[in-house]
Amino acid sequence: MDFILRAQDLHLSFHGIQALAGVSFDLSPHEILGIIGPNGAGKTSVLNCINGFYHPQHGRIVYAGQEISFWPPHRRAQLGIARTFQNIALYPGMTVLDNIMTGRVIRMRAGVLACSVYAGPAHREHVTQRAIVEDIIDFLEIEEARHHRVADLPYGLQKKVELGRALAMEPRLLILDEPMAGMSLDEKMDMARYILELKEVRHLPMILIEHDMGVVMDLCDRIVVMDYGKVIAEGPPVSVQRNPDVIRAYIGQEVGTTQG
């Protein structure tokens, strides 16, 4: 098996508006795949098809050898597909710690009775899980913010927390929807460092949607370019960068000149 995820001929429309018109690509294990394209190209819709929020009218999603096209989102998550959202989808009223802890819920086993007693197994389990969450907090260097409500944090930090929550699931495939949008240069460098480390150390395959071309070119092993719900180019960064179709789709945007 040379791919961990395959999107095959996805078609999706909303009330007559065609969001996806036959999108196909493979993601191989240990690879970072970038998806780029103008706003409204259908990038987020592809992710929503992969993790089960949208159901394509036509096409299949195959993950780790099984077809998951009709699985509900939570089952796909339990298979190890984790993601972050373009517009942060954290729990604003909870602390950073609790937010990341929600990523551990599926790893917790305490039954309803144990939970209602809490002292004993449920509590011990919570302590173990807390240690794992603390590791993630260390990894993302957000110790200071641990007990802060997420709503009170600056945007860039929230993006980090959302990555942390996804990592807490111990994912086997990580999907990042514009993880660096709206970040300062420093924050982008941090985020890029985490992504590289996840790839080098944990060999975690990733799908990355990002508008910053410099970042995309540096981080991704392969790039899929989308426009109007279709894949218009695919390949390693250098070749995509020179592709005339891509340049046409990006008229007005200077491909590859912004450095991250």
Partner 1 sequence: MSIRPAGDFKISYAQDMAVLDSTFNRVGFGALLAALVLAPFWLREFIFLLTTIGIFAVGACGLGLLTGFTGQISLGHAAFMAIGAYASAIITGSLGLPFLVALPLAGFVSFIFGAVVALPSVRIKGLYLAIATLAFQFLTEYAIIHMAGGVGAISVRAPSIGSWQLRTETQFYYMLLVVWVLSGVIASNLIKSRIGLAFMAVRDRDYAAQVLGIDLLYYKALAFGIAAFYAGIAGSLWAHYSRLITPEHFSIVTSIDYVAMVVMGGLTSVWGPHLGAALVILLSQGLKIITPEVIAVLPVFAKIATPLREIVFGSILIALLIWEPGGIAVLLKKLKRKLDLWPFAY
Partner 2 sequence: MSEFILGGLMNGLAVGSIYALIALGFALLYKSTKILNLAHGELVLFGGYLAIALSNIVPLPVAIVLTLVAAAVLGFAIERVVMRPLFGQPLLSVIIVTLALGYIVRGVMVGVWGGDTRQFPGITGGVLSIGGIPIQRVGVWSAATAVTLLVIFWLFFRYSLAGIAMRAVANEQLTASTLGVSLRRVFAYAWAFAAMAGAVGGILLGLWLGVNFALAFVGLKALAAVILGGLDSIPGAIVGGFAIGVIETIVGGYIDANIIYGFKEIIAFVIILVVLMIRPYGLFGTEHIERL
**Residues engaged in binding ligand ADP (CB under 6 A):** 14, 17, 19, 37, 39-45
Residue 169 binds which one of partner 1, Mg ion, ligand ADP, none, with CB within 5 to 8 A depending on kind? partner 1
Residue 37 binds which one of ligand ADP, partner 2, Mg ion, none, with CB within 5 to 8 A depending on kind? ligand ADP
Q: State in angstroms the smallest separation of the CB of 53 from partner 2.
A: 6
Residue 8 binds which one of ligand ADP, Mg ion, partner 2, none, with CB within 5 to 8 A depending on kind? none
The backbone torsions φ and ψ at residue 94, rounded to the nearest 5 degrees and listed phi first, read: -95, 160
Closer CB to ligand ADP, 190 or 227, in the complex = 227
User: Which of positions 65-124 make contact with Mg ion (CB under 5 A)?
Assistant: 86
Name the helix (H) or strand (E) containing 55: none
To the nearest 10°, the Cα dihedral for 97, 54, 223, 259? -50
Helix (H, G, I), strand (E, B) or coil at 24: strand
Residue 62 binds which one of partner 1, partner 2, ligand ADP, none, with CB within 5 to 8 A depending on kind? none
Q: State in angstroms the smallest separation of the CB of 248 from ligand ADP.
A: 17
Q: How far apart are CA 78 and CA 87, in angstroms?
A: 23
> Whose CA is closest to 91, among 101, 82, 81?
101
Q: State in angstroms the smallest separation of the CB of 43 from ligand ADP.
A: 3
Residue 69 within binding range of partner 1, rule CB under 8 A: no
Within 13 Å, how many C-alpha atoms sit on residue 57's CB side?
12
Residue 72 within binding range of partner 1, rule CB under 8 A: yes
Residue 44 within binding range of Mg ion, rule CB under 5 A: yes
**Binding mask of the shown chain, residues 192 to 211, with x at each position contacting partner 1 by CB under 8 A:** --------------------
Q: Please list, in sequence order, all residues whose beta carbon lies within 8 angstroms of the beta carbon of residue 6, skipping any fewer than 6 positions away.
A: 24, 25, 26, 27, 60, 61, 62, 63
> Whose CA is closest to 60, among 25, 27, 36, 15?
25
Closer CB to Mg ion, 44 or 84, in the complex = 44
Stretch that binds partner 1, among 49-57, 58-66, 183-191, 207-215 (CB under 8 A): 49-57
Residue 98 within binding range of partner 1, rule CB under 8 A: yes
Helix (H, G, I), strand (E, B) or coil at 155: helix
Name the helix (H) or strand (E) containing 152: none
Residue 53 within binding range of partner 1, rule CB under 8 A: yes
CB burial string 159-184: b at 16+ within 10 A, e below: bbbbbbbbbbbbbbbbbbbbbbbebe
> Whose CA is closest to 63, among 79, 75, 44?
79
Q: Are 179 and 210 in contact (CB under 8 A)?
A: yes
Residue 117 within binding range of partner 2, rule CB under 8 A: no
**Binding mask of the shown chain, residues 46 to 85, with x at each position contacting partner 2 by CB under 8 A:** --x----x-------------------------------x
Residue 103 binds which one of Mg ion, partner 1, partner 2, none, with CB within 5 to 8 A depending on kind? partner 1
